[in-house]
């Protein structure tokens, strides 16, 4: 073990825990919001430090029931059913003393999938909340304590160990292994979710999770990438089945830019990949309609080549909860690729292509793209990873193609070749060849592709072998990726189907017997240029550098550095290959993006306000004003409920309800930031105010966000009497992306969309209850806003198009487009709108609200429009948080006037 690396890893984890406790975004303090907040006050294990919280309610805010070995009364109180499945969930190491948000999601998912099971959360927090080496030393004692509990349940309740399933995350996986070692008998199943690596890698089987610890041991490895001699998740296979999603290395959606866009700190990057194992397991519980498949392979390199997509002789299996027990086979390594967010399952294809040598192609390393056409859908151009960077000539090459969406039966394929590889090595090789070999004509390599076969991994369907029957040459100058190569492509054409299911791919028929792909190199330098002239020019540059030139370089270097750093963190232009870098280096994009980045510096002025709301939200004395962390909806999201003032209001009369949806470009934000706003809004409007969280990108797309807001409204319909608010008098208020989501949710409910998975009658009741929508600096036409982002050069670093799954879905998520498609009956049910917008807003231009107002007026829908001079995008919401803010009174004056009309309180 590299002790320096271990200490570094421990330090980073401590820092991560510290950041989590400060930010309060992904973890919950005991005694505040935790679904398990009473674990530390009731119930004692046999050693006094391990507690067993048996969950019996999907309402995770309710206190669980605590099992105690030797206490028979607790079994009756908790309703323990010895004939049902028993599932123990075991957390890992922590330095924060918190149960993180994944625990809530996992418990909820297990209980929904196995409604009759005994679901028990094992809390060993007092021992896990220590330095990592100390926590490791406690795992054996905790495992023995769990074994003692299981032995007592066998004696007292005749519990069948075959029905017991232990689920352990990180260090908790090894705790489960010790429990399996010391229990009397054999546990049915143990699932290890990215078991911890430090101090367990390479040790003997009896000192870690191993296949002998249960009848079936399955393991998910999501963070096996080694850094400084240590891997956070264990690398070696330690179960009967060891599944490595994405090779167990970089997980989609966990790149530095993706995580920073959501979490805002570097420590979440490491946590994202380690915790992905839990989210994959939760996904397997919740998304039964498409279960992810993993395929047995000897290593990640062979899998990336597409060699291992066979399901014969149990070579494939489902992942997560749905993993099937297979014939006892130790350390069976399996691999798959996943999407960046839930549902994580995708679709794997194996493409075999026989390539022959022809004309100067001895060292060919081309870049391929493939497009698949299916019965249900088509893919975009997909980059085909040539894993060894070269194409094998005169033999069959195998490639792995992964798609995120189901395209149905394969009907047609399109293959594109872009000359030599776009790696820096190949680019440099071409530069030397082009600039230094002026007097030689560059060779024009040609490849022959004679056979192509495609196999779908999930269905195991194969296309029949293809025999191209003529030579095709296509030229497309506009598709050049780099100045050194012209693109050549060919298109396959489906001619017939076998049994109406398996599509047969064939090519155009003719007399020849080959299909050729050609690549051409451009001559970038005229042969007439002499070397002496080049040296002369270099001498002039060398000896005539002046101060203005140096200053000019600095002025160019600064904006280029800023803009390139922003694009590296948040996303490059959505272009194929190196076109994205060419697009990123365009001067207009560089300077526009630099300006946009520098504009964010003005947020420093809100530092004092930041500490005000942070302090207010953490102060327990303010809990009298609101209810904190109420769980709602299918995803177990949280909301805060703020009480109206008591003065001048009868307790018997329920208060109107305001639901405030915060913005954040569909990719950031959380409810605690808006605690002061919600509190002031409750005071000013004399209303109950709800501020819910929703799943922002990349945890979910816009449809998932709308589902969460609709779930919040369903909760409001069911909870009005409990919290004394009028469930039939609701006004939605949203800012920026939140205003867009308010409008979109309202229109989806009116349209009774099946995508919301809410009964039509409930959707009708909610629609009647929503009396109006107040939009603050909102986005209502997505395509217009995308064009505005293009002008500011931020369209690629923005999360908008990502959260909406591409430009093609913009009409589907645009309130303006939906309204134009509504029938008159649906238009009559659209509630009134009040639109507020600042004239100094450069993030969302004021035309967004003015055009939406014009459309609503044209459709005879009631609308009020307020244009507030000198108010910018951020001030529209920050100035509602404190009475001393510059625009507090002007903005609230407009909101109060419209709210009274909408709610009928005037």
Tell me the C-alpha distance between 175 and 88, whole Å.
Answer: 11
What residues contact 868, with CB distance under 8 A and at least 6 apart? 836, 837, 838, 839, 876, 887, 890, 891, 894
Residue spans of alpha helices (H) in 114-207: 125-128, 132-157, 171-182
Q: What is the number of helices (H) and of strands (E) in the chain?
A: 26, 31
Give the total residue count for the chain.
906
Tell me the C-alpha distance between 608 and 622, whole Å.
Answer: 19
Q: Is residue 371 classed exposed, middle or buried when 0-12, 13-18 and 19+ CB atoms within 10 A define those classes?
A: middle
Q: How far apart are the first and last CA of the chain?
A: 72
Tell me the C-alpha distance between 795 and 783, whole Å.
Answer: 11
- 728 in active site: no
- 170 in active site: yes
Residue among 274, 625, 643, 785 flagged as catalytic: 274
Give the tokens for residue 347: 């679709």
For 605-640, give one letter per residue: b (16+ CB within 10 A) or e: eeeeeeeebbebbeeeeeeebbebbbbbbbbbbbbb
Tell me the C-alpha distance between 821 and 855, whole Å.
Answer: 12
Tell me the C-alpha distance between 704 and 343, whole Å.
Answer: 11
Residue among 33, 123, 145, 194 flagged as catalytic: 194
Give the tokens for residue 501: 């299911």
Query: What is the enclosing helix (H) or strand (E) of 106?
Result: helix 101-113
- 354 in active site: no
Tell me the C-alpha distance between 801 and 573, whole Å.
Answer: 12
Of 32, 31, 33, 29, give the one whose Cα is nearest residue 41.
31
Phi, psi of 34 (to 5 degrees): -60, 140
Q: Decide: 284 and 292 in contact? Cβ < 8 Å.
A: yes
For 253-262, give one letter per residue: b (16+ CB within 10 A) or e: bbbeebbebb
Residue among 20, 96, 108, 170 flagged as catalytic: 170
Tell me the C-alpha distance between 111 and 105, whole Å.
Answer: 10
Angle at 497 between CA 492 and CA 498, to 5 degrees: 130
For 294-343, give the secondary structure using H, E and C.
EEECCCHHHHHCCCCCCCHHHCEEECHHHCCCCCCCCCEEEEECCCCCCC
What residues contact 353, with CB distance under 8 A and at least 6 apart? 396, 397, 399, 449, 451, 452
Give whole-number Cα distances, 793 to 139, 262, 477, 566, 598, in Å.
52, 20, 26, 11, 13
> How many Cβ atoms sit within 10 Å of the Cβ of residue 653?
8
Residues forming beta bridges with residue 834, ordered by sequence position: 774, 864
What residues contact 138, with CB distance under 8 A and at least 6 apart? 124, 127, 128, 130
* Distance, C-alpha 109 to centroid of its chain: 18
> How many Cβ atoms sit within 10 Å of the Cβ of residue 557?
10
Give the neighbor-by-neighbor strand order of the sheet with 626-632: 626-632, 637-642, 688-692, 655-661, 725-735, 770-776, 833-838, 863-868
Q: Is the dihedral of CA 166, 167, 171, 174 positive or negative?
A: positive
Q: Which residue has 């990336």 as its token pair? A: 304
Give the neighbor-by-neighbor strand order of the sheet with 516-518: 395-403, 347-358, 446-456, 516-518
Tell me the C-alpha distance between 90 and 173, whole Å.
Answer: 7
Tell me the C-alpha distance between 713 and 744, whole Å.
Answer: 14
Active-site amino acid positions: 170, 194, 274
């Amino acid at each position: 073990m590299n002790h320096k690396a271990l200490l570094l890893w421990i330090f980073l984890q401590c820092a991560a825990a510290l950041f989590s406790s400060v930010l309060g975004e992904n973890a919950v303090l005991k005694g505040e919001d935790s679904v398990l907040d009473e674990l530390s006050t009731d119930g004692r294990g046999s050693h006094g430090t391990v507690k067993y919280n048996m969950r019996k309610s999907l309402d995770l805010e309710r206190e669980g029931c605590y099992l105690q070995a030797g206490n028979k009364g607790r079994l009756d109180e908790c309703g323990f059913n010895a004939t049902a499945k028993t599932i123990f969930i075991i957390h890992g190491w922590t330095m924060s003393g918190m149960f993180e948000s994944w625990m809530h999601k996992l418990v909820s998912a297990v209980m929904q999938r196995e409604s009759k099971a005994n679901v028990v959360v094992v809390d060993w927090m007092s021992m896990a909340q220590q330095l990592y080496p100390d926590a490791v030393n406690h795992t054996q004692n905790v495992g023995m304590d769990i074994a003692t509990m299981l032995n007592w349940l066998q004696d007292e309740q005749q519990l069948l160990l075959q029905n017991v399933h232990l689920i352990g995350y990180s260090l908790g996986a090894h705790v489960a292994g010790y429990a399996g070692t010391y229990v009397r008998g054999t546990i049915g199943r143990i699932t290890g979710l990215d078991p911890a690596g430090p101090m367990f890698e390479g040790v003997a089987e009896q000192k870690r999770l191993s296949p002998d610890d249960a009848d079936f041991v399955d393991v998910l490895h999501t963070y096996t990438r080694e850094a400084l001699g240590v891997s956070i998740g264990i690398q070696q296979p330690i179960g009967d089945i060891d599944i490595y999603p994405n090779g167990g290395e970089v997980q989609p959606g966990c790149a530095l830019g993706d995580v920073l866009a959501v979490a805002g700190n570097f420590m979440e990057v490491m946590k994202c990949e380690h915790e992905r194992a839990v989210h994959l397991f939760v996904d397997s519980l919740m998304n039964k309609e498409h279960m992810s498949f993993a395929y047995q392979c000897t290593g990640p390199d062979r899998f990336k080549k597409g060699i291992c997509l066979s399901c014969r002789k149990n070579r494939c299996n489902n992942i997560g909860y749905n993993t099937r027990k297979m014939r006892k086979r130790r350390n069976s390594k399996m691999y798959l690729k996943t999407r960046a967010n839930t549902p994580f399952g995708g679709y794997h294809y194996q493409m075999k292509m026989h390539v022959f040598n022809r004309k100067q192609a001895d060292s060919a390393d081309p870049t391929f793209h493939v497009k698949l056409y299916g019965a249900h859908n088509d893919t975009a151009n997909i980059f085909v990873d040539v894993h060894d960077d070269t194409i094998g000539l005169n033999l069959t090459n195998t490639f792995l193609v992964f798609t995120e969406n189901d395209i149905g039966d394969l009907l047609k394929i399109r293959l594109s070749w872009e000359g030599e590889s776009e790696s820096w090595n190949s680019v440099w090789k071409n530069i030397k060849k082009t600039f230094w070999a002026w007097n030689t004509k560059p060779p024009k390599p040609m490849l022959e592709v004679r056979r192509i076969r495609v196999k779908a991994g999930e269905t195991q369907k194969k296309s029949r072998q293809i025999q191209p029957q003529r030579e095709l040459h296509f030229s497309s100058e506009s598709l050049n990726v780099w100045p050194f190569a012209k693109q050549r492509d060919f298109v396959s054409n489906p001619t017939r189907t076998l049994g109406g299911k398996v599509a047969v791919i064939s090519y155009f028929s003719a007399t020849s017997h080959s299909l050729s792909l050609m690549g051409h190199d451009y001559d970038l330098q005229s042969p007439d240029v002499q070397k002496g002239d080049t040296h002369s020019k270099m001498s002039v540059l060398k000896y005539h550098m002046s101060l203005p030139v140096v200053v000019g370089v600095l002025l160019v270097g600064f904006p280029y550095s800023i803009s390139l750093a922003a694009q590296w963190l948040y996303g490059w232009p959505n272009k194929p290959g190196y076109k994205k870098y060419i697009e990123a280096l365009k001067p207009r994009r560089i300077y526009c993006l630099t300006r946009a980045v520098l504009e964010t510096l003005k947020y420093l002025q809100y530092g004092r306000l930041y500490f005000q709301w942070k302090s207010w939200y953490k102060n327990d004395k303010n809990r009298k004003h609101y209810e904190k962390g109420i769980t709602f909806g299918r995803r177990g999201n949280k909301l805060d409920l703020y009480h109206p003032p008591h003065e001048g209001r009868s307790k018997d009369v329920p208060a109107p309800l305001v639901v405030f949806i915060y913005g954040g470009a569909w990719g950031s934000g959380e409810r605690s930031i808006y605690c002061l706003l919600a509190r002031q809004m409750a005071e000013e409007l004399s209303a109950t105010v709800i501020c819910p969280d929703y799943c922002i990108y990349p945890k979910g797309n816009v449809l998932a966000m709308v589902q969460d807001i609709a779930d919040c409204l369903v909760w409001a319909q069911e909870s009005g009497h409990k919290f004394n608010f009028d469930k039939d008098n609701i006004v939605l208020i949203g800012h920026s992306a939140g205003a867009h989501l308010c409008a979109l949710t309202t229109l989806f409910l009116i349209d009774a969309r099946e995508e919301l998975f809410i009964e039509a009658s409930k959707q009708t009741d909610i629609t009647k209850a929503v009396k109006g929508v107040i939009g603050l600096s909102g986005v209502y036409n997505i395509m217009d806003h995308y064009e505005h982002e293009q002008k500011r050069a931020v369209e690629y670093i923005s999360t908008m198009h990502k959260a909406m799954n591409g430009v093609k879905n913009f009409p589907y998520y645009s309130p303006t487009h939906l309204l134009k498609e509504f029938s008159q009956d649906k238009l009559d049910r659209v509630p009134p709108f009040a639109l507020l917008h600042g004239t100094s807003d450069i993030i969302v231009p004021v035309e967004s609200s003015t055009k939406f107002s014009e459309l609503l007026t044209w459709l005879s829908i009631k609308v009020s429009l307020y244009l507030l001079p000198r108010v910018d995008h951020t001030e529209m919401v920050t100035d509602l948080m404190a009475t001393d803010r510059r625009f507090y009174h002007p903005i609230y004056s407009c909101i109060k006037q419209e709210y009274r009309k909408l709610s009928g309180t005037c």
